[in-house]
Structure 1
């Protein structure tokens, strides 16, 4: 909730992005000083940010438009956003009704970070969802929807991320005759009820501000779009990918493996987005499994994107059920020191790390991770921004090295008969789509995935899945 400026001698309202806004207090107000620099807002959204020049430049460009060029309604929003009062802690009754481990909000330890509907009947029973549906055996556990791709008047070209790479991956797989439309699982959009399993309602409400979405996606012109367009053209594709990750989690347990061709939004936590990540799909997939699949109570996240996965790390801080292995360039965005405390096996890389060193560290640490914590499911964040020439990743892994990396992870995990869910995460070059497709083809050629692959799951071991229609 935006707090009103009580000391303003005269208030004037504007209609910006379809919503009324109020002028900030006058510049001489000592109680709530005017925000006048991009650095101030950057610090608000990314406290302690220690790196990531390219991310910073995109954010600086957006803030330059709205702060230094006199966009007064947006100035008002940012100033009042900073002045918000901390949210109230949940009551004892709400904590009782939740009846699940409560992850603490990093800045407000009394506040539940992974929230659910406190008033839900049945005291902690999961809500009804359209994401846990039966999938015919003829369909492979590869999840995709044409709605993954972000296209709107060329705005997607203003970010180095290839916002259409997911469709290109599927097209390459079709060209190689590995898949057809009838073999894919169609992803469904995550509903608000689904998102509230992890996200706070306050954060979801903040996404109704175009400024907030522009900051998260690092696409400056999004600031000036009506939010209904932002919801339809930017956030709906991301919600569909998020639904795809949740669906793939169930499929991985049923079939032994699953791939969401999108997803991997590892910078988003329950109450904060960033780095093109608006929804915490990895956290959601794991929480759905914990709540809905009996026998799934331990998970491992293997995050091999070039960036630190600070979103899921903040969400699972202190949760012993979830083991996090993170391999990343230590010099780049987000540099989240607080989130690093949640990493159980941390591998920090230097600029320009190449194949031999990288693959040796990946294989050794994946093996040790599974020795230290044998999970019921593995979520593999297979970012391709480690590719040589990626200006945001800063590493030098060849295309063949990425294909080999994915093979190593699948081979080691499958040797332990553990279900594995793969999401594609970051990758900022046009050729990453071809590399992802080549990796999937390689996994199939080696017999690590495929319709004939034996199921090792809770379902075929006699452990039932809860019905998706549980009220």
Structure 2
């Protein structure tokens, strides 16, 4: 009879990876559950300007918040960078991570052809490392949301990436990863994804196609990228809008959608993908929502989570105009004014109790 032990099951390996990860760590109450690192920003010889995405958006959001006096930089939480072991958690197979050692593969995913000509060591350091840092931020955001009631990762929201396929400037499936971490670390079993980026979130839709623990509300322009009709079959609540949709029409559709979601699912965590590419004149979203419309949109989603008694984490996702950073900052300021978030940290919360 053999005395060798049998290999661990995939479920046990997954759980062990999550429990041994350094991405969840204790945060002092003096910190605000707003997550950001200067390494989020992508910059390399101006090559980042070949894609319409504003790759310095994340840093400018924090600058606007600091200038408005609503956020002290010392209160921002810096995440750890996701390691290969973290990325292998249920989501990305090793073959996919190996494929990213090809600069050509990365160039196709980020849609910047000249990246293919760069040595992969540079691609890893200048492009993939910032994305890995943002993944760490999204994963940590779930923990902080559960502890504080809310959290904002000033990055992330790479909703076009599924387990084994990147695309649309999305290299890693941070939404799927943060949810799988939450299942194990936070002992929850019901998550709602509210995806209000202008584009369909085909990545997380594929990843959770057969997982009834995850309810997906996706409101997107059905006439633009990615046109993933297969993934659309897995959306629990599909709200399709057309190019040119205006603010009033959009907000009415959102109100109706949130009311349906309220009746259908009781989440223990809400993951809010808050893309600003629905802004009027955004070159890729092709929707006509005003800055004030985005501020009202975010307020409605946070109010929905509060009314459901569900922790909420927000990811900033897409947005292809320089004005996006200002709008996101203004929206966070509004959430604070409406007392849907507390930018003073938990010390003030303790005084209120």
Q: Which has the larger radius of gyration?
A: 1
Give the match for residue 365 of structure 1: 257
Structure 1 regions of 5+ residues with no counterpart?
1-92, 101-115, 118-122, 456-471
**Equivalent-residue separation in structure 1 for 2:156 and 2:120 (angstroms):** 22
Alpha-carbon distance change, 325 to 229 in structure 1, aligned in 2, over 3 angstroms:
same
The normalised TM-score by structure 2 is: 0.94
Alpha-carbon distance change, 428 to 125 in structure 1, aligned in 2, over 3 angstroms:
closer
Q: CA deviation at 1:367?
A: 2.4
- Contact 1:259-1:422 at 8 Å conserved across structures: yes
**Equivalent-residue separation in structure 2 for 1:259 and 1:127 (angstroms):** 23
Match of 2:86 among 186, 194, 201: 194
**Equivalent-residue separation in structure 2 for 1:150 and 1:321 (angstroms):** 34
Match of 2:66 among 154, 171, 174: 174
Q: CA deviation at 1:416?
A: 1.4
Residue 185 of structure 1: SS of its match in structure 2? coil
| Bigger helix fraction | 2
- Contact 1:142-1:261 at 8 Å conserved across structures: yes
Match of 2:10 among 98, 106, 113: 98
Establish whether residue 406 from structure 1 lines up as the match of residue 320 from structure 2: no
Give the match for residue 324 of structure 1: 216
Establish whether residue 144 from structure 1 lines up as the match of residue 36 from structure 2: yes
Give the match for residue 268 of structure 1: 161
Deviations 1:317-351 (A, max 9, x none): 01000000000001111011111111000001011
**Equivalent-residue separation in structure 2 for 1:218 and 1:429 (angstroms):** 17
Residue 186 of structure 1: SS of its match in structure 2? coil
Establish whether residue 297 from structure 1 lines up as the match of residue 176 from structure 2: no
**Equivalent-residue separation in structure 2 for 1:125 and 1:200 (angstroms):** 14
Give the match for residue 185 of structure 1: 77
Give the match for residue 270 of structure 2: 378
Match of 2:144 among 251, 263, 269: 251
Structural RMSD (CA): 1.6
Deviations 1:90-120 (A, max 9, x none): xxx77x71238xxxxxxxxxxxxxxx56xxx
4+ runs of 1 displaced by more than 3 Å? 123-127, 451-455
Give the match for residue 46 of structure 1: none
Give the match for residue 204 of structure 1: 97
Residue 166 of structure 1: SS of its match in structure 2? helix
- Contact 1:256-1:454 at 8 Å conserved across structures: no
**Equivalent-residue separation in structure 2 for 1:438 and 1:126 (angstroms):** 35
Deviations 1:415-460 (A, max 9, x none): 11100000000000000000000000000011000156889xxxxx
After superposing the two structures, state which structure 1 stretch, 205-214 or 446-455, moved more.
Answer: 446-455
Give the match for residue 415 of structure 1: 307
Residue 126 of structure 1: SS of its match in structure 2? helix
Give the match for residue 36 of structure 1: none
The normalised TM-score by structure 1 is: 0.71
